[in-house]
Amino acid sequence: MTKQTDSLDIAFSVPFVHRLRTTHEVSGQDFQTLLAVLHRGSAGPVKVLLVAEHPVADSSDHVARIQHRLGGSADVQLVRPALLVAGGEAVKNDSQCVQEVLSQINVHDLDRRSYVVAIGGGAMLDAVGYAAAIAHRGIRLVRLPTTTLAQGDSGVGVKNAINQFGKKNWVGTFSVPWAVINDASLLDSLSDRDFCSGFSESVKVALLKSRHEFDWLCEHAESIRNRQMDVATQAIATSCRLHLRHITEGGDPFEMLEARPLDFGHWSAHKLEPITDYAIRHGEAVGIGVAIDCFYSHLKLGFPLSDALRVCHCLAALGLPLWHSSLAPLDRLLGGLEEFRQHLGGRLTITMLRGIGDSVDVHEIETAVMAEAIQMLKAESDAISAASA
């Protein structure tokens, strides 16, 4: 008698809700918006662990005010005063922050219907989000991003990670945040450098999705650099909307396919950061990476040179650098391609542009052409610097 083997493949989808709120002063007049996303359980007040980036807490009273109001709410059991952790990329370079958050979740008996409310920049949100995602296989995470980059890009993403082996985001998870609150007042204490650096992601997503939005950014770049908040918050809202639409409607939120369009310009950015020992901001590295890939797209795919030059001028007008000495030697930078391939889990797939709003995936990079693209960027960077001197 021949034994039969059975195979059963069942495709299924899991429903998620991505809650995005925009406020002007979440620590004050808009506090109810935060309270409304903390759904009270049937067993009584909901447990909340508040985690904040130390520099954010030191530079303003927003964290203290949020802590005070959460502690005074009948619907919330704030389990301890705000846990203050480090900020910046350093917070992702070891597991200390993750272990601190996990320890507090354990000590205070948070469960899967409890909340971690995280206030900080993108790197800190990555580390805290990773801890929340692996505790009990997922505790509800509410993000309050405090940088322009996190509000317009990573804060609404579904990725959480820390760095390992000198590689960006090597350890991490995909996990949809319970809610994201983009609050304008949380940007007040940013340095000009950090304020400007986040808008490279706005340029990136506009190049991928919309010529109209790219043209708007070019026209308003200097106003954004000068921190005209009505313009800057509009740019953040547009970037956020484009990123969120791709995540929720693009058909691949957890990046199971080869292509990762939202990582346009990131293969070199992710390598440039560790090469410089993270002296360069993520947004600055992304701006340089976007410019490099625009020139490569011009040389290989016919992306108009005029648009590549406009990208450079837009980034410069936003206050972003176009060059870093660590771009040479090229072979060191090109190591980022193999790391990017490993991160994808398959063959190399890099998004490039035929035109604004017209992307294409390529599976190999010609070293000589990439070297030429980088030299074109160096020449344009020097020309812009000379013209502004």
pLDDT in tens, 193-234: 999 999 999 999 999 999 999 999 999 999 999 999 999 999
* Residue reference for tokens 């176009």: 322
Residue 344 has pLDDT above 80, yes or no: no
Reported residue count of the chain is 389
Residue 44 has pLDDT above 90, yes or no: no
Residue 158 tokens, joined: 């579904």
Residue 152 tokens, joined: 């317009």
Sign of the torsion angle spanned by Cα atoms 85, 86, 87, 89 = negative
Closest to 356 measured CA to CA, from 241, 200, 205, 135: 205
Confidence of residue 98 (pLDDT cuts 50, 70, 90): very high
AA identity, residue 301 = L
Provide, for the chain, the percentages of residues in helix, strand and coil under a 3-state DSSP scheme, each rounded to the nearest 5.
Answer: 55, 15, 30
Residue 1 has pLDDT above 60, yes or no: no
Contact 140, 219 (CB under 8 A): no
pLDDT in tens, 231-278: 999 999 999 999 888 888 877 777 766 667 778 998 899 889 989 988
**pTM metric for this prediction:** 0.88
Q: How far apart are CA 240 and CA 20, in angstroms?
A: 9
* SS3 at position 355: strand
Residue 164 tokens, joined: 């390992």
Contact 185, 219 (CB under 8 A): no
> What b/e readout covers 170-204, taking b as 16+ CB neighbours within 10 angstroms?
ebbbebbbbbbbbbbbbbeebeeebbbbbbbbbbb
Residue 336 has pLDDT above 80, yes or no: no
Residue 50 has pLDDT above 90, yes or no: yes
Residue 254 tokens, joined: 């957890």
Note the pLDDT of residue 118: 98
Closest to 188 measured CA to CA, from 233, 154, 153: 233
> What b/e readout covers 73-99, taking b as 16+ CB neighbours within 10 angstroms?
beebebbeebbbbbbbbebbbeeebbe
Contact 353, 281 (CB under 8 A): no
Strand partners, 19: 179
CA distances from 146 to 56, 263, 308 (A): 8, 22, 30
Closest to 380 measured CA to CA, from 317, 283, 313, 296: 313
- What φ, ψ does residue 166 adopt, rounded to 5°? 70, 20
Cβ count near 313 (within 10 Å): 15
- Mean of all residue pLDDT scores within the chain: 92
CA distances from 138 to 92, 132, 149 (A): 19, 6, 25
AA identity, residue 154 = S
For residues 102 and 87, the model is more confident at 102
Q: How far apart are CA 270 and CA 112, in angstroms?
A: 33
Residue 36 tokens, joined: 């409304």
Q: How far apart are CA 185 and CA 229, in angstroms?
A: 10
